[in-house]
Amino acid sequence: MRSQSLVVTSRPFTLGDHSPPPTRIVRAFAPGGIGNLGPGLDILGCAVTGLGDTVDARFVEAPGIHLEDAGHPDLPTDPSRNAATIAASEVIRRASAVGDGRWAMGKPIGIAIRVGKGLPLSGGQGGSAASAVAGAVAVNALLGGQLGQLDVLASAFAAERTVSGRHIDNIAPALFGGIVLIRSVEPFVGDRLPVPPALRIVLVHPAMQLRTAEARAVLPSTIDLQVALAQAGAVAAMVAAFCTGDLSRLRGAVDDRIAEPARAPLLPGFDAAKRAALAAGALGCSISGAGPSSFAFADGDGMARAVCDAMVAAYRDAGVSASGRVAEVDQLGARVIEDSQ
């Protein structure tokens, strides 16, 4: 895949006398996740163990951000449109403003980026957010950790806002890990909620794609008062379940009356999979993010495996091929997994 470059022109970060080894490579991993988390449209999200995206970052001679591998043939090779490189560019912009002086003199910085996609494209599992977060974390580490967590979050959000929309319910969990309640986007205000040890997450991915923009286009522009009150009550019940550790409180709480009714018609097999999940004992089931993936909560491994099998079978009976996995809440979030310095 041909690489493209994005030249950073706003107060370019520079390499001075303390330039790191040119062969150094930093690899960061960011987990996938579930946005919206049932009724928590744009305000509840969680990171999920297992699949995620990686970004490799290294210094190069030519100034700017160079995208050597977009991670998938269908992803943009233009650095101004790829989540990982947009986030990387924003990290450099912010680092140039807050850096501690170690890089104050010398030539403008050049960084090459390679993306490894472990998450399905347009799959509703936080793929663009994971790429953005991994890109921001990798480049920040390459620069010696110039930015704090909130600036790294803002850098990833700049990418997500460009490629997906102004929501942070996937970005924050991918960076911080855990289940995150979003109270404000700009400025960011959020809370990590407790994770009950027995909580298991079933993620089922049907063999289809649904772009976030398409899924958001069908959302209603106005909400009936009774629907809004029911939605607020459902979110509160879920928060209570997580905070008390009483998973039984999730039954009936995963009740999305806004996004799910609007998006379900776009997702063949979802209604049948949800009925199968609940019949198999799931504590709740809904659309993961914007779709097409669906998720279910379960109490323990045994229930989770039964729910996963039931959902995959329901999709198959509806004529839709699907794969499923049992996971937990990823409480680590994004991390550097390799540093060759």
DSSP for 100-124, written as a single string: -STT-SSEEPEEEEEEE--SPTTSS
Q: Are strands 110-116 and 25-35 parallel, antiparallel or unpaired?
A: unpaired
pLDDT of residue 11: 40
Q: How far apart are CA 70 and CA 117, in angstroms?
A: 8
List the structure tokens of 259.
Answer: 């996004």
Mark out the alpha helices in the chain (DSSP H runs).
Answer: 83-98, 127-142, 149-163, 171-176, 212-217, 225-244, 259-263, 270-279, 301-317
Q: How far apart are CA 148 and CA 165, in angstroms?
A: 23
Same fold yes or no, 4-191+330-339 and 199-327: no
Q: Are strands 110-116 and 64-69 parallel, antiparallel or unpaired?
A: parallel
Amino acid letter at 244? Answer: T
Q: How far apart are CA 166 and CA 186, in angstroms?
A: 10
| pTM exceeds cut of 0.75 | yes
Q: How far apart are CA 247 and CA 172, in angstroms?
A: 23
* pLDDT tens for each residue of 211-246: 888 888 999 999 999 999 999 999 999 999 999 999
- Give the CA-trace dihedral at 30, 34, 35, 41, to 10 degrees: -160
Q: How far apart are CA 240 and CA 242, in angstroms?
A: 5
CATH number of 199-327: 3.30.70.890
CATH number of 4-191+330-339: 3.30.230.10
* pLDDT tens for each residue of 207-220: 998 888 888 899 99
Q: Would you kindly state where each structural domain of the chain is located, as residue ranges?
A: 4-191+330-339, 199-327
Q: How far apart are CA 180 and CA 44, in angstroms?
A: 6
Residue 206 contacts residue 269 (beta carbons within 8 Å): yes
pLDDT tier, 21 (very low <50, low <70, confident <90, very high otherwise)? low
Residue 155 contacts residue 91 (beta carbons within 8 Å): yes
pLDDT of residue 214: 87
Residues whose CB falls within 8 Å of the CB of residue 111, separated by 6 or more in sequence, listed in order: 57, 58, 59, 60, 64, 65, 66, 88, 92, 139, 142
The Cβ of residue 294 has, within 10 Å, a number of other Cβ atoms equal to: 30
* pLDDT tens for each residue of 99-136: 544 444 456 789 999 999 999 988 889 999 999 999 99
pLDDT tier, 163 (very low <50, low <70, confident <90, very high otherwise)? confident
Which burial class, exposed, middle or buried, applies to 312 when counting CB atoms under 10 A from its CB (0-12, 13-18, 19+)? buried
Statement: residue 201 has pLDDT above 80:
yes
The Cβ of residue 84 has, within 10 Å, a number of other Cβ atoms equal to: 38
The DSSP letter of residue 19 is P
